[in-house]
Chains A and B, each alone.
Chain A
Amino acid sequence: METIIKLTGINKVYRTEEIETQALENVNIDVQKGEFLSVMGPSGCGKSTLLNIMGLLDEPTSGEIELCGTKIDKNLSDERLAEFRNRTLGFVFQSFHLISSLNVIDNVQLPLMYRGVGYSERIKRAKEVIERVGLSHRMKHTPVQLSGGQCQRVAIARAIIGNPEIILADEPTGNLDSKMGADILGLLKQLNEEDGRTIVMVTHNEQQALQTKRIIKFLDGRQIM
């Protein structure tokens, strides 16, 4: 099996003038290609911090990150980092993080726009993925006109439009009721099983975590399982 995410000795310390908080302590994780991994733990244990570091949205205080065989240097330029996020990673956030002023199709096509794909090609591919997540009848709607589950589907469509190797989902069902949550999880499982995408999902829902291929548990910034 090919290791697609390799975290070695990751530490993350948040410092303020008064206190120092160790969010992650000596975390070592290997994620194999095609794996569906869930990261569990109570609130504040460092799950989201870990996901942000994996997704190059945050920097570790120390430690090494390797994604798709590329060592992520701290001095990597903004352009290179942006390109890496664009081509290799897809994010699904708990609070969706859709741009409220843009409609569904414009939100979904964003990653392709930053990749320089032409307008007509972007729209074509956006329609395909929106159809895949079952929202073809909502293409012209803005996020405020959609339910939470629909927003999360849009977010998933946006995450997969660029065919990234890795999808990082930060509590994707956290803001949804159980039925919608199950739908979204089903969609993620489908992406993993049918497309072979590697998915790392942060959750504190044990039932959902049990449906993934592997579970990592965290407590107080340390990996305990």
Chain B
Amino acid sequence: MKQILKNLWSQRAQNVWLFAELVVVCFVAWTQIDPIVVRLFYQNQPAGFDIDRLVVAEARLYKTIWQDTHGSIEIEEETYDQMSEKFTQEMKQLKQHLLELDEVAYVSFLDGIEGYPRMNKHNWEIPLPNDTIGIDIPWCFFDIEEDFFETFGIQPIPGSPSQHELSMNSGGGQNLIITRSLAERIYGSAEAAIGKKLDSGSTYGDGAGNKYPIIYTIQGVVEDVAARTDEYSTWMAFCPNGRLYLSDYQSKARLVIRLKPGVNMTRFVEEQTYRTGELASEHYVICSFVPYVDAPKNMDFSDTPDYNAQSDYDFNLSVATAIFFLINLCLGVIGTFWMQTKRRTEESGIMRAFGATKRRIMGMFLAEGFVLTTLSMLITCVLYLNYVKTGLGELCINPQLPQCQPDPTWVADKPLHFCILAGIVYVIICIVVSIGIAIPAWNIVRTKVVEALRDE
């Protein structure tokens, strides 16, 4: 170690530039990597429901039955309700077609993607019983009698009605199903929540100027579910829709398919994509199949006004930017170290002439790189800490507001978050520096000693 530090110090004129470059690269890499690491971490957290073998089928209108002009629907002869009824019947036809496939276990409707688990968060603030503050709850609307809980695989807690009973939801729009952690937050325990009343904080009018509070009955409690891919959130409320609404669909409609155990989802999607066009109702035809996890990325949800496409867009943009920056920075670092190491061919020849082994020379070059990287990382940590503390930048942590569910993961723990990201950046830069050193070092130690000594 003493020798390595001596070597570094004796070549300080060159190393100071390497050092400065490494500090800049570590810093920029950190700013780029942080949001990606956090997002990927959340994506790989358990979704809380069975997200495997879950496929979204998208149906499109192939025969005009109404005019769609800028999102509003002009109905010529039939009434709106009749049209909605017709639409519902068509969806049920498509559902039946899908259920006839051997691989399919359950099918449910996807009303837009408003608030669906792991897709898009649709928050609604409700007042806490016996409290002055409200809490933000991700809210999901589902269609009753359409096997929603069976299809998604959302599990009721012991003592709660079964998946089928929750999906049937005899209480109509007055029932609510909430997740375990939300029940614990509001009522102290999950089991105690069942059958309780919950004031939504909203009212409805009777047309005569009277307003009545909307009070839900907690019909059941299910295990925690992640609302979005880029957040840790296990609070969720499932609110039944009484019926399908035409305005939710316009020219597209989507159904969620639960495949039977043992069915290969990739193969199913490939086979059904090949057969698209065969599954059709009177006016709709299923035109694409996408795994549920990929639906936000691969399907166009722009027809659903509540869909927050920004989230995926931002993530993709930050990934693209990070990849661009990292590739350039890494190539820069590799190139600099490559040249620096190549210049030491004669030195390598001298060392070998006096008894150094190839392994020893490689080890020495790499160790010098690691020491330089470590020192750079320490400086970067100080700079980054300052950058975060002065408010110029921030760690990628969702705001921990009192009305939101606390995030128990490392992401929300600032010191731990800082250390983990520092570790990740350090490992990445070490790998990059190793590549920049190891390849040219291996080439120069393989050079014959006489040839290495001729290199000046």
Contact = CB atoms under 8 A, between A and B. Distances in A.
Contact of A85 (B10, B346, B353): B353
B347 A115 contact: no
A101 B11 CA distance: 6
A97 B346 contact: yes
A83 B354 contact: no
B287 to A, nearest CB: 61
A125 interface: no
Interface in A135-187: 142, 158, 162
B357 interface: yes
Interface string B320-351: 00000000000000000000000000110111
A106 B8 CA distance: 13
B356 interface: yes
B355 A78 contact: no
B392 to A, nearest CB: 38
Interface string B49-80: 00000000000000000000000000000000
Given A102-B10, A113-B3, A119-B2, A91 B354 contact: yes
B259 to A, nearest CB: 57
Interface in A35-71: 52, 55, 57-59
A164 to B, nearest CB: 10
B299 interface: no
Contacts of A97: 346, 349-350, 353, 453
Chain B interface main SS type = helix
A55 B2 CA distance: 30
B283 interface: no
Contacts of B10: 101-103, 106, 142
A34 interface: no
Contacts of A58: 448-450
Contact of A114 (B358, B360, B448): B360
Contacts of B11: 101
B445 to A, nearest CB: 9
A118 to B, nearest CB: 11
Contacts of A79: 357, 359
Interface string B412-456: 000000000000000000000000000000000000111001001
A57 B450 contact: yes
Contacts of A115: 355
Contacts of A119: 2
A114 to B, nearest CB: 4
A85 B6 contact: no
Contacts of A57: 353, 448-450, 453
A29 interface: no
A101 B354 CA distance: 17
B371 to A, nearest CB: 15
Interface string B71-102: 00000000000000000000000000000000
B356 A101 contact: no
Contacts of A158: 354
Interface string A187-222: 000000000000000000000000000000000000
B7 interface: yes
A21 B349 CA distance: 24
Given A57-B449, A101-B11, A82 B350 contact: no
A106 B9 CA distance: 13
B449 A78 contact: no
Interface in B354-372: 354-360
Given A52-B450, A57-B453, A82-B355, 11 more contacts: A79-B359, A82-B357, A86-B355, A97-B350, A102-B10, A110-B354, A110-B356, A113-B3, A114-B356, A115-B355, A119-B2
5 contacts: A78-B358, A82-B356, A91-B353, A97-B353, A97-B453
- Going nearest first, the 9 A-B pairs with the smallest beta carbon separation are A86-B355, A114-B355, A101-B10, A57-B449, A82-B357, A111-B354, A101-B11, A58-B450, A52-B450
